[in-house]
Amino acid sequence: MSTMKFCRECNNILYPKEDKERKTLLYACRNCDHQEIAENNCVYRNEVHHSVAERTQVLNDVASDPTLPRTKAVRCAKCNHGEAVFFQATARGEEGMTLFFVCCAPNCNHRWRD
C-alpha cells in the first residue's frame, strides 16, 4: 500500500524522482530542496482517465481540493483572479509531466498549463 509523503521543511507533497548517478529512487519536494531516499524502489502510479463529460466536475473538484498546493503568483487569463491550484500531470499524447493550473474563482475553473 502506498502513502503520500510530505516535506518536513514546508509540508508540500514529495514526488518520486530517480537519482541516476546513484541508481536509487528519491522523494523530492518541488517547493524547497528537501529530498529523501525511498524505502523501496516501487512507486504507486495512479492513472485515472475521465471522459469529456466528466472533466467539468473534475475541474471543480481540483479547484476546491484542500490538499493541492495553491499559488497567488499567477493570474487567470479568463477572469484575472489571483489564486490558482496547481498540479503536475501527463498531458494527453505527450511524454513527461506538465504543470497545470486551475483558477480558484467561483464559476470559473479555467485550466491552463505552464
CATH number of the domain that residue 11 is part of: 2.20.25.10
Q: Give the C-alpha distances (Å, rounded to integers) separating 14 from 5, 7, 50, 97.
A: 5, 6, 25, 15
Q: What is the pLDDT of residue 7?
A: 87
Q: Provide φ and ψ at 109, rounded to 5°.
A: 55, 30
pTM: 0.47
One domain, residues 10 and 62? no
6 plus 35 within the same structural domain? yes
Same domain membership, residue 62 and residue 15: no
Q: What distance in Å separates the CA atoms of residue 105 and residue 62, rounded to the nearest whole number?
A: 12
Annotated ligand binding at 76? The verdict is: yes
What is the reported pLDDT for 41?
67
Q: What is the mean pLDDT of the chain?
A: 77
Helix (H) or strand (E) run with residue 99 in it: strand 97-103
How far apart, in whole angstroms, are the C-alpha atoms of residue 88 and residue 2? Answer: 19
Residues 59, 93: one domain? yes
103 labelled ligand-binding: yes
In this structure, which amino acid lies at residue 50?
Answer: H
Q: Dump pLDDT digits (tens) for 27-83.
A: 888 888 899 888 876 655 555 555 544 444 556 677 777 778 888 988 999 999 999
Same domain, 66 and 103: yes
Q: State whether 2 and 16 are in the same domain.
A: yes
Does the annotation list 29 as a binding residue? Answer: yes
Q: How many domains does the chain have?
A: 2
Residue 108 annotated in ligand binding: yes
The verdict on whether residue 10 carries a ligand-binding annotation is yes
104 is in an annotated binding site: no
DSSP 64: T
Report helix, strand or coil for 19.
Answer: strand
Tell which wins on pLDDT, 77 or 114. Answer: 77
Domain that holds residue 56: 52-113
